[in-house]
C-alpha cells in the first residue's frame, strides 16, 4: 500500500504537535498517511515546499512565519483564506495548481461551539490582536452570526485595516464589527479570544477584567505554560478559561478532511493530547 506524505512547514517546527495529531487521525481513519516536519529557512519557504511537492508529497500545513507566503503560493484559494490573506493548509493538486486554505478559523469556531458548547450566534465577542492569528480566524467567526465583534489591538490602525477588509462579510452575516484600541474595548463580553503574542511575551493580559462577566468564555490561542497566566487571570475574574489545544486539533481535522475526504473524530485525539501535555509538564526538567 502506498503512503501519502504530508508535513508541517515552518520555522521553528521542532516542537509542533501536528505530526502527533495527524498520526492519531490516520490511525483512527485507517488512512495511509505519513506526516512529518518540514523545516524551512526563513528565505527559502517556497523552494523547500516546492521540492517537497516535487518529491511526491500531497500537501502541507504551514505555520509561523510562512502563512502569508503560503497564501501567495495558492493557484486557487478558498474564500476563508482570501479573507485572512493567509493560508495554513496547502493541497498539492496535480491539475490546476495548489489549493490554499485556512482552517484556523473554522477550528476555533468548532472548539468554541462544539467542544466548549458555547453558542456564537447572537453573542458579543471580543477578539484581541491584529496579527496573523486574529486575521486568520475573523472570517469564520463572523460567519457564525454573533451580534457584535470588537477587534481590539494595541496598534489600532492594524485592527482598522482588518475590519475594513471584513466589512462586507460582516454586513452579509448581520454582525456589528468595529475596531478598538486596548483602553476601552467594551465590557462584559460573552466570548473573549486572545490572539495576541502578549502571553508569549509574558507581559500579562493587556486589557482590564471589565471585558469579562461571570461565565464569559475566555480563550487563549496558546496552550501549555504560555497560556497559564491568561487562564489564571480569567478564572480569578469569574470567567471560564480555555486554551488553544482544542483549536489546534480542530484546525488539523479540517485540513485532514480537505486532503483525505474523511473527517476524523477529534474528541479522543484532544483527550490524548491533553494527557500527553499534562504528563510532560508534570515532569520536572
Ligand atoms: P501573529 O501573526 O502570530 O498574530 P504578530 O503579527 O506578531 O503575530 O502579531 C502579534 C499581535 O500581538 C499583535 O496584535 C500585537 O499588537 P501590535 O499590532 O500592536 O504590535 C500583539 N501584541 C504583542 N505583544 C503585545 C503586548 N505586550 N501587549 C499587547 N499586544 C501585544
Q: What is the pLDDT of residues 92-129, one digit of tens each?
A: 998 879 999 999 999 999 999 999 999 999 999 999 99
Say if CB 191 and CB 219 are below 8 A apart: yes
Residue 30 pLDDT exceeds 70: yes
Task: Name the domain count of the chain.
Answer: 2
> With left for phi above 0 and alpha for psi between -120 and 50, is residue 164 left, alpha or beta?
alpha
Cell numbers for 155: 496598534
- Contacts of residue 27, Cβ cutoff 8 Å, sequence gap at least 6: none
At residue 18 the predicted structure's pLDDT band, cuts being 50, 70 and 90, is very high
Same structural domain for residues 229 and 267? Answer: no
Q: Is residue 181 part of a domain?
A: yes
Q: Would you state the pLDDT for residue 284?
A: 59
Q: Is residue 146 part of a domain?
A: yes
Tell me the C-alpha distance between 139 and 80, whole Å: 6
Same structural domain for residues 152 and 185? Answer: yes
At residue 204 the predicted structure's pLDDT band, cuts being 50, 70 and 90, is confident
Residue nearest to atom 16 of ligand 1 (CA): 154
212 alpha carbon to ligand 1 midpoint, in Å? 21
Instruction: Check whether 6 is labelled as a binding-site residue.
Output: no
Residue 15 pLDDT exceeds 80: yes
- Contacts of residue 186, Cβ cutoff 8 Å, sequence gap at least 6: 124, 126, 150, 180, 211
**Domain of residue 143, residue span:** 118-243
- Using only the alpha carbons of the chain, give its radius of gyration: 19
Residue 226 pLDDT exceeds 60: yes
Tell me the C-alpha distance between 69 and 280, whole Å: 33
β 89-91/59-62 pair status:
antiparallel
Q: Is residue 33 part of a domain?
A: yes
- Nearest Cα neighbor of 244 from 233, 256, 252, 235 is 252
> With left for phi above 0 and alpha for psi between -120 and 50, is residue 105 left, alpha or beta?
alpha
Same structural domain for residues 237 and 164? Answer: yes
Marked catalytic residue, from 46, 58, 67, 121: 67
Q: Would you state the pLDDT for residue 276?
A: 93
CATH number at residue 76: 3.40.50.10860
Q: Would you state the pLDDT for residue 69?
A: 97
Which residues make beta-bridge pairs with 4? 33
Instruction: Determine if ligand 1 sits within 6 Å of the CB of residue 153.
Output: yes
Mutation to probe ligand 1, out of 104, 196, 226 (largest number of atoms < 8 A from CB): 196
Same structural domain for residues 21 and 88? Answer: yes
The answer to whether 27 is a known catalytic residue is no
Q: Is residue 215 part of a domain?
A: yes
Same structural domain for residues 42 and 142? Answer: no
Q: Is residue 112 part of a domain?
A: no
pLDDT in tens, 48-98: 999 999 999 999 999 999 999 999 999 999 999 999 999 999 999 988 799
At residue 1 the predicted structure's pLDDT band, cuts being 50, 70 and 90, is low
CATH number at residue 238: 3.40.50.720
Mean pLDDT of 213-239: 95
- Contacts of residue 264, Cβ cutoff 8 Å, sequence gap at least 6: 24, 25, 28, 29, 253, 256, 257
Amino acid at each position: 500500500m502506498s503512503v501519502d506524505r504530508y508535513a508541517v512547514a515552518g520555522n521553528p517546527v521542532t516542537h509542533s504537535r501536528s505530526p502527533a495529531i495527524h498520526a492519531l487521525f490516520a490511525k483512527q481513519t485507517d488512512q495511509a498517511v505519513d506526516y512529518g516536519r518540514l523545516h524551512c529557512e526563513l528565505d527559502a519557504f517556497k523552494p523547500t515546499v516546492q521540492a517537497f511537492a516535487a518529491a511526491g508529497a500531497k500537501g502541507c500545513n504551514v505555520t509561523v512565519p510562512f502563512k502569508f507566503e503560503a497564501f501567495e503560493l495558492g493557484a486557487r484559494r478558498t474564500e476563508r483564506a482570501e479573507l485572512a490573506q493567509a493560508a495554513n493548509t496547502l493541497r498539492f493538486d496535480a491539475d490546476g495548481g495548489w489549493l490554499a486554505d485556512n482552517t484556523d478559523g473554522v477550528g476555533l469556531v468548532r472548539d468554541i461551539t462544539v467542544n466548549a458548547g458555547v453558542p456564537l450566534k447572537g453573542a458579543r465577542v471580543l477578539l484581541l490582536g491584529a496579527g496573523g492569528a486574529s486575521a486568520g480566524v475573523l472570517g469564520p467567526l463572523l460567519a457564525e452570526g454573533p451580534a457584535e465583534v470588537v477587534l481590539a489591538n494595541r496598534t489600532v490602525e492594524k485592527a482598522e485595516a482588518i475590519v475594513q477588509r471584513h466589512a462586507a462579510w460582516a454586513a452579509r452575516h448581520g454582525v456589528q464589527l468595529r475596531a478598538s484600541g486596548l483602553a476601552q474595548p467594551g465590557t462584559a463580553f460573552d466570548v473573549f479570544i486572545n490572539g495576541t503574542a502578549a502571553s508569549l511575551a509574558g507581559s500579562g493580559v493587556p486589557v482590564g477584567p471589565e471585558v469579562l462577566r461571570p461565565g464569559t468564555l475566555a480563550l487563549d490561542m496558546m496552550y501549555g505554560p504560555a497560556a497559564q497566566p491568561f487562564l489564571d487571570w480569567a478564572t480569578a475574574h469569574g470567567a471560564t478559561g480555555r486554551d488553544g489545544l482544542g483549536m489546534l486539533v480542530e484546525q488539523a481535522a479540517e485540513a485532514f478532511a480537505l486532503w483525505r475526504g474523511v473527517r476524523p473524530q477529534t474528541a479522543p485525539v484532544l483527550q490524548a493530547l491533553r494527557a500527553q501535555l499534562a504528563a510532560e509538564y508534570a515532569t520536572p526538567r
